[in-house]
Amino acid sequence: MSLPLLEAPLQARPLQGSTALVTGGATGIGAEIGRALAAAGATVAVNHLGQDHDAHALLAAFERDGSPGIAANADLTDPGAVQTMVDLVRAEIGPIDILVNNADSYPRVPWRLHVLPGFGDLDLDEITPPTVRTWRAERLAATVATTVAKSYRLLKAIMETATDDELIRRNPCRIRGAGSEQAKERSTATVAQVDALAEAMGPRWRLMVYFCAYGPVRPEEQAALRRTSVTLAPLAVRITEAAPELNTGRRVEGDTKSAAGVRTVHLPAFLSMEVKRHLDWFAEKEPDGLLFVGEKGAPFRRTSFGRKWAKARAKVGLSKGFRFYDLRHTGHTLSTQSGATLKDTMVRAGQSSEKAAMIYQHSDDERQQEVAGGIDARVRAARVKGAVKRQAKGA
């Protein structure tokens, strides 16, 4: 399926640097809209409800074409879930510039596709607990659990109203937990997997892996880093710009995704030698030279790096759905385990949220060094533990 009427104006007006959110974007028309937006240069957030496989397959297609994106699993009928989704999109890829409201509205989908076919021919007093249990079991066999949970909640609400109006004596929807749903956890690489990925990427690109995992620093921010961005005492990088790559291959240096993106990222001490070696061996030699350049001296290219990343990911045994961007979750996890507050983590990652900014306390430079120290201790401990295990196996 193609959208010729949509593609033409998008190609005439590239959307590089824009963030788009497409609701109901994992399949069908929503997926085609997402493809068109990504082809025009936008970073696309794909909203879905329990369609993880379809969403990540679509994101993999975006990535192959050089356009990053994220999946946002959220029930649009739940205001809290919608706010969480919006906060996630803002934090991960920046403020939303384009919203495509493609999702079918509630309660039409669960009512039309699930509740009405199961109970439309029955009187209210004919809907019994065994009938509900049978219907739910059939729905679970036919569709995803999140959709079934939403349909069950709708049915329960209808029957509760019937009970209140004394049309039936008791609500037949009595299955404990049937209306609840849980999103899958985000994949988080272990310390050993991060080390293996860095090794597989090779000497020139291994520091990018560590910066993304333990900064965390976005790839487009790393593309703009220069020698002058780095300090060795304290070990840190100063991020002031980003250099995304257009679909045409042209590199565009400019502002970070949001004002919060301008920050100093203090790095764990174990990266000290990695940074020094990279400066000596691979960075441009000019005082203000780029930190990451290719084998022939050209600036970092997202497309060629993406091919190297795909090979490294396969070699380490991570799924195709695991993106370079997902390394940031390792840094988030270690920061939290090291005692970082939400605000500390937001500052490190360059994330912005108006709501969180009003609620959470300040995180200053000294505090960021403490968080980096905590990450350093945890990574070193994990490496020692891994080495002991390998020795024990070899004994």
The pLDDT mean for the chain works out to 82
Domains 8-101 and 191-394 share a fold: no
Is the pTM here over 0.85, yes or no? no
Most confident range (mean pLDDT) of 85-89, 283-287, 343-347, 357-361 is 283-287
Lowest mean pLDDT among 6-15, 103-112, 386-395: 6-15
Q: How confident is the model at residue 246 (pLDDT cuts 50, 70, 90)?
A: low
Q: How confident is the model at residue 312 (pLDDT cuts 50, 70, 90)?
A: very high
How many angstroms separate the CA atoms of 154 and 87, rounded? 26
Per-residue confidence (pLDDT) for residue 4, from 0 to 100: 43
Tens of pLDDT, residue by residue over 367-390, are 778 778 888 888 888 888 888 888
Q: What is the CATH number of domain 8-101?
A: 3.40.50.720
The topology (CATH level 3) of 191-394 is hpI Integrase; Chain A (1.10.443)
How is the chain split into domains, by residue range? 8-101, 108-164, 191-394
Tens of pLDDT, residue by residue over 188-236, are 888 999 999 999 999 999 999 999 999 888 888 898 999 999 999 999 9
Per-residue confidence (pLDDT) for residue 341, from 0 to 100: 72
- Whether the per-residue pLDDT at 32 is higher than 70: the answer is yes
